[in-house]
Structure 1
Amino acid sequence: MTFDDLRVFVAVCRAGSLSAVARELDCTQSAVSQRVKRLEREAGMSLLERQPRGVVPTHAGRVLLDAASNSIDGLDQALRRLTDLANGDSGSVRVTTGGTTVRHFMSEAIVAFRRRYPKVSLEFRTETSSRNCFDALTSGNLDLAWVTIRGEALPRIEQRPVVHLPWVLAVKADDPLATRSRISTADLGGISLIRLPQNSTSGAHLHTALTELGVRSSSDTSVADWDTALLLAELGLGHAVVPVMPGWRMPGQGAGDGPGEGSLRLVPIPDLPPLPVGWAVRRWDALSPLARAFADVVARSCGGAEWAP
């Protein structure tokens, strides 16, 4: 008994005719009859009653028809939904990320994705840290997490870096360090830095890098995100070592959006290893085509490589 046998049997019962189904399937009436006879042999009883104007199911045939119809209709509906998902005619992409990440990394990508897939729902769940994003990904009904990449492997999570962000020192324009073309990590030893909370993955990356380079910095100010750190630096309330977000203008570059002009200066710190950021998923090979498409659009907009299937 095969799925095709059941599909043909259901079609014959609904049409009341072997020849009509044969014409629809572009095959012989004998081929249709053979499929029905195969089912009858396996069932051990007659499933169709031949009448002068066609066929009708027997009592046993109606039992099989009812069961097979529900299964076939449900499977056909599922296959149509899968086709819609693959074509972008329906479905959703669910993303968890930090509060300011969408603006920094995804704004252009969201517009491009929406133009390509206007009927797909984009759902964003905001978390306060990459650690919380990892937790939400493993425990929630989510597809993707945009995170600071952890240095170690994580159980039940695959991490894929998209871009590596260089570090800069954000200072007020009238600060003595604002005229420098670069800052060495040794220069950071006597500076009080604005820092992120201890549960911040990117803050942990910075702390580890400074420690490995033998730099001991002090801090009397803590913030929840890099945007707030920039604001405090612009107000002259401290210095902030921050990763360069896409679109920010660096010294020597042309005019652009974001920090780097006006009352704030960004001075490169080339000694610090760049900060890896990108996607985390439970299983890349289990992602829907739409989630993969969104991940690739974001990667392209950030200047990173697409993920290969």
Structure 2
Amino acid sequence: MTLDDLRFFVAVCKAGSFSAVAREVSCTQSAVSQHVKRLERELGLSLLERHPRGVVPTQAGHLLRVAVTDGLGSIDRALREIEALVRGDGGSVRITTGATTVRHFMADAVVDFRRTFPQVRLEFQTEHSSRGCFDALAAGGLDLAWITLGAPVRGIDQRPVVELPWVLAVRTESPLAAQPFIAPTDLEGTRLIGLPGNSTSRTHLDTWLRQSGIQPVFDTSVADWDTAILLAELGLGCAIVPALPGWHGPGHADLRLVPIPALPVLRTGWAVRRWDALSPLARTFADTVARHWAQRPTAAQAPSGSE
């Protein structure tokens, strides 16, 4: 049993496929299978169930995956710190997050951190959902994940940093753009640009709409908040999105972001496997982002009106 055996096993569990892992690491499917078979021989039982569409862990496989994922994360962090000592540089901080997170939530903090720690490497890995961030974090090799906070996830600590009110992004000529705020009844039958179906923010929104008895029409779908707002600005429909500061200001004269005060705020922030196991650099980066947000004027965190 080797570390590579364990790494390949966890990768296959995550991907649900031997071939997907083989493509990712540029090796043969047989080579990936051999790593798993060696573990099964040593343990004396099957770790994966083979199905026509892929593989899933057996009960024993699930137990091993949980234990290995936890252990590999600690080993990877230790190896990175040892490598930094050997090189004599400042080490690294690895973050997984969405494609536009740096722009909206941590641009100033990144500049501040780089100025304070010029030798530290910042490495960003893009995922398309909070679930993807959780999986990447659990797989090890990453320090922090910036996510939309939702239900608790086993083995992951979540810490809120930002509370975002919701707005209706709409082009200025729309009748809804003239309203001071949007009530739930204003959304009945409205044609909306839909957020990703598997995202935490979409789940949050759908729950509220259902509880409010509102049935809008989602006839366009996008992969992220920014694209939804852009399409609304172009006049392709309306979008219910968190109030992102980057979309306010004179550069968006054709766009209005109308507050939806009845919709509970969306919380975003950090997720880690264990706060007490974070490296000092990773903790400092997380605290730097939180500090910059705490110093923002209230109006910047909860924008409203037609700026």
TM-score by length of 1: 0.65
The separation in 2 between residues aligned to 1:143 and 1:245, in whole angstroms, is 25
Question: What's the C-alpha RMSD, in Å, of the aligned pairs?
Answer: 2.2
Q: Distance in 1 between matches of 2:93 and 2:211?
A: 39
Contact 1:95 1:146 in 2 (8 A): yes
Residue in structure 2 matched with residue 113 of structure 1 by the alignment: 113
Cα pair distance change 1:116/1:141, threshold 3 Å:
same
Q: Tell me, in whole angstroms, the C-alpha distance in 1 between the residues paired with 2:218 and 2:247.
A: 25
Counterpart of 1:264? 255
Asked if residue 185 in structure 1 is aligned to residue 148 in structure 2, the reply is: no
CA contact (8 A) 1:194 1:239 kept: yes
1:288 pairs with 2:287: no
Where does the alignment leave 5 or more consecutive residues of structure 2 unmatched?
A: 1-77, 297-307
CA deviation after TM superposition for structure 1 residue 287, in Å: 0.6
What is the one-letter code of the residue matched to 1:207? Answer: D
List aligned pairs for 1:11-50, cutoff 5 A.
Answer: none
Do the aligned partners of 1:162 and 1:304 also contact (CA within 8 Å) in 2? no
Contact 1:163/1:304 (CA < 8 Å) preserved in 2?
no
After superposition, the Cα gap between the structure-2 partners of 1:248 and 1:230, relative to the gap in structure 1 and judged at 3 Å, is: closer
Alpha-carbon separation, structure 1, partners of 2:135 and 2:195: 19
Secondary structure of the residue that 1:141 maps to in structure 2?
coil
d(CA) in 2 for partners of 1:203, 1:287: 30
**TM-score, length-normalised on structure 2?**
0.66
TM-superposed CA distance for 1:303, in Å, is 2.5
Shift of 1:246: 3.5
Larger Rg: 1
Cα displacement (A) at 1:273: 0.1
Residue 198 of structure 1, CA deviation: 1.3
Alignment partner, residue 236 of structure 1: 235
Taking the aligned partners of 2:140 and 2:279, their CA distance within structure 1 comes to 16
Q: Give the whole-Å Cα distance in 1 for the aligned partners of 2:193 and 2:245.
A: 21
Gapped regions of structure 1 (runs ≥ 5): 1-77, 250-255
The answer as to whether partners of 1:247 and 1:257 remain within 8 angstroms in 2 is no
Equivalent residues of 1:89, 1:117 under 8 A apart: no
Map of 2:288 onto structure 1: 297
Paired residue for 1:165?
A: 164
1:48-87 aligned at under 5 Å gives the runs: none
Cα distance 1:231–1:157, how it changes in 2: closer, same or farther (>3 A)? same
Identity score, percent: 63
Q: Which residue of 1 aligns with 2:104?
A: 104
Q: What's the counterpart of residue 277 of structure 1?
A: 268
Aligned to 1:147: 147
Q: Which amino acid aligns with 2:241?
A: V
Give the match's secondary structure for 1:102: helix
Matched residues in 2 for 1:297 and 1:248: separation?
23
The amino acid of 2:243's aligned partner reads: V
Which residue pairs with 1:57 in the alignment? none
SS of the residue 1:198 aligns to? coil
Measured in 2, the distance between the counterparts of 1:284 and 1:215 equals 40
The separation in 2 between residues aligned to 1:166 and 1:180, in whole angstroms, is: 17
Q: Distance in 2 between matches of 1:110 and 1:257?
A: 25
- The CA deviation string for residues 109-142 of structure 1, in whole angstroms up to 9 with x for no partner, is 1000000110101000001111101110001310
Residue type of the alignment partner of 1:141: G
SS of aligned partner of 2:294? coil
User: Displacement of 1:193 after TM fit?
Assistant: 0.9
| Structure 1 segments of 4+ aligned residues over 3 angstroms from their partners | 246-249
CA apart distance, 1:247? 4.7
